[in-house]
A and B are shown apart, each in its own frame.
Chain A
Amino acid sequence: IQLTQSPSSLSASVGDRVTITCRASQDISHYLAWCQQKPGKAPKLLIYAASILHGGVPSRFSGSGSGTDFTLTISSLQPEDFATYYCQQLNNYPYTFGQGTKLEIK
């Protein structure tokens, strides 16, 4: 299953609302996760089952979608949110990732 994220990179300012999309090549129901990775660090789980916030993740993060189309939204960007975001399908192995979206400060 291929996952296509858009955009590949994004420049935004603190306080902005941003949306990242992830499209699957086939129906994966709600078996999609989003993770955040900062330079030199391991990825961290943000959202799973398309819309469930992982423990400790701020409520400004939200996810939606099912089937083949999914979105990650950050309602009001904070300085610590500038990172790379990946979607990952958990419908079946191999658990593929999107190519990533690098979120940079404008």
Chain B
Amino acid sequence: EVQLVESGGGLVQPGGSLRLSCVASGFSLISYSMNWVRQAPGKGLEWVSYISSSGRTIYYADSVKGRFTISRDIAKNSLYLQMNSLRDEDTAVYYCAKEFYGSGTSPWGSWGQGTLVTVSS
């Protein structure tokens, strides 16, 4: 059974940093691309970042480019999101999501439960 468990959220001051983790089980990260998606309180879904199954292709939303870094540890089967220079508008629940099948146009079949990041002074 596929499971994704996020952690690392919390309260951080503007300008601060936080690292989110997503531990995957039931599949290997070397076989599937992964994404981070966020949802601000009471708002819709916003894609944040993508890493391919090979790890060689990475994308970021313009809103986080230069501040956030996606990475993974194959040995730990874990996905990460390093978030620096955090802003109030980064406050959101952050989800990791797994592609359903190994293809560039695959939908996301599995999501974690989310971890809340609050940026506030």
Binding site for B on A (CB under 8 A): 31, 33, 35, 37, 41-45, 48-49, 54, 86, 88, 90-91, 93-100
Does B121 sit at the interface, judged by CB under 8 A?
A: no
- In the complex the two chains form, is B105's CB within 8 Å of A90's CB? yes
Does B111 sit at the interface, judged by CB under 8 A?
A: yes
B59: A residues at CB distance < 8 A: 93-94
Q: Distance in Å from the Cβ of A75 to the closest Cβ of chain B?
A: 22
The verdict on A45 contacting B114 (CB below 8 Å), with A86-B44, A99-B44 known, is: no
Binding site for A on B (CB under 8 A): 35, 44-47, 50, 59, 61, 95, 100, 105-109, 111-114
Distance in angstroms between the alpha carbons of A100 and B40 in the assembled complex: 13
Q: Distance in Å from the Cβ of A38 to the closest Cβ of chain B?
A: 12
- In the complex the two chains form, is B105's CB within 8 Å of A42's CB? no
B105: A residues at CB distance < 8 A: 31, 90-91
26 contacting pairs across A/B (C-beta < 8 A):
A31-B105, A33-B107, A37-B45, A41-B113, A42-B95, A42-B112, A43-B45, A44-B111, A45-B100, A45-B109, A48-B107, A54-B100, A54-B109, A86-B44, A86-B45, A93-B47, A93-B59, A94-B59, A94-B61, A95-B35, A95-B50, A97-B45, A97-B46, A98-B44, A99-B44, A100-B44
Q: Which residue on A lies nearest to B50, using beta carbons?
A: A93
Distance in angstroms between the alpha carbons of A88 and B100 in the assembled complex: 14
Q: Which residue on A lies nearest to B106, using beta carbons?
A: A90
- In the complex the two chains form, is A97's CB within 8 Å of B107's CB? no
Contact of B111 among A42, A88, A98 (CB under 8 A): A42
Q: Distance in Å from the Cβ of B22 to the closest Cβ of chain A?
A: 12
A33: B residues at CB distance < 8 A: 107-108
3 nearest A-B residue pairs (beta carbon): A48-B107, A42-B111, A33-B107
Contact of A94 among B47, B95, B100, B108 (CB under 8 A): B47
